[in-house]
Structure 1
Amino acid sequence: MTEPRPYPSDLSDARWALIEPVLTAWRAERRSGALDIGRPPEHDLRTICNAILYNRTSIPWRYLPHEYPPWQTAYAYFALWQKDGIFDQLTGLLRRHVRTAAGRDPEPTACVIDAQSVKTSPNVPATSQGYDAGKKIAGRKRSIVVDTLGLLLAVLVTAAGISDSAAGLPLLTQIAATQPAITKAWADSAYRTTVIDGAAALGIDVGVVRKDPATKGFTPLPRRWVAERTLGWLMLHRRLTRDYEALPTRSEAMIHIAMIDLIARRLTGENTPTWRDT
């Protein structure tokens, strides 16, 4: 019997080699801490990863192809990895590899912050949604912090009605704790006095990049365009064209997964298939 053909989203050997040590260590730690280890896990980690990556197509979890483990198993691992911070860990590991390959210091000293409002699917609880009057979008808001290469440092998903300023300060507080080398950030004018003053107390100087009122049409703005490009990269993952996740934390995990896939392909020189290719 011939092996089934891999899906375009499946991990190559090279990409699996990048993330396998982290996941293997996670499984070993969980099993060593169990009171009764019992029988070995039924599904290998690479197959579970492939199932999670396949979900970038925006299908419901229960619609996963039968070649993968049961959808309940795939989702359980997805939830566990989100809760245990595995996606954050993988994003950081791969980001450091990319920065080193680009001749940069592994840890950044500057960052860019921006936000994007997206519509939600019907399964998203109304309590976690809001209305962005500026963008005229009912749904959720993704606030991201990226380094100067556009690689993800932190993400916060809130109701769309939450102002950029209200989401920005918690994000920069997180950055100050996890990325102590960062002393400079750039943002747009939506991040007003509260963020600037709060970040200054954390040792981060926030520079506001404003658009020239006389400029018409789209014009890439210095520094800010890096974060806007990252948001564009994320939208190439069809799962992220809307917010399908019931919990905001799961939505943040999906953004990390998209970035992990993108960075891993960059490191291995592989093309990234997108929903526009189908």
Structure 2
Amino acid sequence: MTDRRRYPSDLSDARWALVEPTLTAWRQARTARALAFGRPPEHDLRDLLDAILYVDRTGIPWRYLPHDYPPHQTVYAHFARWQRDGVFEQLNGLLRRLVRASEGRDPEPTACIIDSQSVKTSTNAPAATQGVDVGNKIAGRKRNIDTDTIGLLLTVLVTAASVQDSTAGQHLLTAVAADHPTVRKTWADMGYKTAVIEHGATLGIDVEIVRRDPTTRGFVVQPRRWVVERTFGWLMNHRRLARDYEALPARSEAMIHVAMINLMTRRLTNETTPTWRGT
């Protein structure tokens, strides 16, 4: 790590210790190839991850990164490589298991909750990756997520906003069944219709639709589903996620993983997430 002024989004020593082995292993696996081309690693891994966290937390464009971070081209190149190599997903899985174990739970969940969130896009997003969510009257993309029962991310799928929840839900369940075979129960809202329930049955997952009481008026906390709604609230504390700024849906998914990595490392080290609310 270079000697520079620290930003609120930067990793503490304790948080860095949680993710350093994974990133170091990634670099070591590629060092031989880099040396073969005469390009040894030049930048500190911690500085690179700090820069990515800075973008995710503050919402700035890559080229607006402060100059005491590595060059923005280098930071984005590593962000893209880590996304393609599944490093963010690997870290998310590692940290999720640590959080669950620290709270006295089994490392792998047996139940989950699925939901979606439609968000507007920026001009960076190609038109082919966008759509219109007629129900919510939003043109852009849709974030479909699957969390465990304490709100930690299991799976994320970013699609055009026009993609139906029932279609995305089937993809989420397939991914959950493959990556988390212990899951046997899923809660969802009314948007996930018969096709999702039937698909879950073929995977050995019982999908239960949480129905709103028609006699209630105004906002009412829904059983089980409030957990995934809270997760969306956690994500929206990261200004890069207030709108979808990424050109590729896969990079949008990576930004969500980065936000969860930020949240879980703080949770494991009992560090609060600084906000600007009330300041």
Decide: shared fold, TM above 0.5: yes
1:203 to partner: Cα distance: 0.8
1:151 to partner: Cα distance: 0.1
2:220 aligns to what SS in structure 1?
coil
1:191 to partner: Cα distance: 0.5
> Whole-Å Cα distance in 2 between the matches of residues 22 and 181 of structure 1?
24
> Whole-Å Cα distance in 1 between the matches of residues 28 and 4 of structure 2?
29
Match for residue 148 of structure 2?
Answer: 147
1:120–1:244 CA contact under 8 A, matched in 2? yes
Q: For 1:17, give the aligned amino acid.
A: A
1:274 to partner: Cα distance: 3.1
Question: Deviation string for 1:79-113 (max 9, x for gaps)?
Answer: 00000000000000000001001100000000000
Match for residue 4 of structure 1?
Answer: 4
Question: Deviation string for 1:55-80 (max 9, x for gaps)?
Answer: 02111101111001110000000000
Show structure 1 runs of 4+ deviating over 4 A.
Answer: none
Aligned length: 277
Q: Relative to 1, partners in 2 of residues 1:203 and 1:269: Cα closer, same or farther, differing over 3 Å?
A: same
Query: Does structure 1 residue 186 correspond to structure 2 residue 195?
Result: no
1:123–1:244 CA contact under 8 A, matched in 2? yes
> Whole-Å Cα distance in 1 between the matches of residues 150 and 261 of structure 2?
15
Q: 77-86 vs 121-130, which deviates more? A: 121-130
Q: For 2:132, give the aligned amino acid.
A: Y
Match for residue 17 of structure 2?
Answer: 17
1:65 aligns to what SS in structure 2?
coil
Match for residue 62 of structure 1?
Answer: 63
Normalising by structure 2, we get a TM-score of 0.96
Q: Percent identity?
A: 68
1:129–1:158 CA contact under 8 A, matched in 2? yes
Q: For 1:199, give the aligned amino acid.
A: G
> Whole-Å Cα distance in 2 between the matches of residues 145 and 92 of structure 1?
13
1:236 to partner: Cα distance: 0.8
Q: Relative to 1, partners in 2 of residues 1:112 and 1:242: Cα closer, same or farther, differing over 3 Å?
A: same
1:123 to partner: Cα distance: 1.7
Match for residue 44 of structure 2?
Answer: 44
1:38 to partner: Cα distance: 3.1
Q: For 1:104, give the aligned amino acid.
A: R
Structure 1: segments with no counterpart, 5+ residues: none
Q: Relative to 1, partners in 2 of residues 1:275 and 1:161: Cα closer, same or farther, differing over 3 Å?
A: farther
1:238–1:274 CA contact under 8 A, matched in 2? no
1:260 to partner: Cα distance: 0.4
> Whole-Å Cα distance in 2 between the matches of residues 115 and 254 of structure 1?
16
1:34 to partner: Cα distance: 5.3
1:120–1:242 CA contact under 8 A, matched in 2? yes
1:90 aligns to what SS in structure 2?
helix
1:236–1:276 CA contact under 8 A, matched in 2? no
Alignment of 1:151-230 (within 5 A): 151-230=152-231
2:130–2:161 CA contact under 8 A, matched in 1? yes
Normalising by structure 1, we get a TM-score of 0.97
2:34–2:40 CA contact under 8 A, matched in 1? no
Match for residue 97 of structure 2?
Answer: 96
1:187–1:224 CA contact under 8 A, matched in 2? yes
Query: Does structure 1 residue 130 correspond to structure 2 residue 121?
Result: no
2:159 aligns to what SS in structure 1?
strand
Q: For 1:141, give the aligned amino acid.
A: K
2:34–2:41 CA contact under 8 A, matched in 1? no
Q: 33-42 vs 93-102, which deviates more? A: 33-42
1:4 to partner: Cα distance: 3.4
1:40 to partner: Cα distance: 2.8
Q: Relative to 1, partners in 2 of residues 1:154 and 1:275: Cα closer, same or farther, differing over 3 Å?
A: farther
1:33 to partner: Cα distance: 4.8
Match for residue 242 of structure 2?
Answer: 241
> Whole-Å Cα distance in 1 between the matches of residues 117 and 158 of structure 2?
10
> Whole-Å Cα distance in 1 between the matches of residues 136 and 247 of structure 2?
22
Q: 121-130 vs 12-21, which deviates more? A: 121-130
Q: 34-43 vs 152-161, which deviates more? A: 34-43
Calculate the aligned-residue CA RMSD, in Å.
1.4
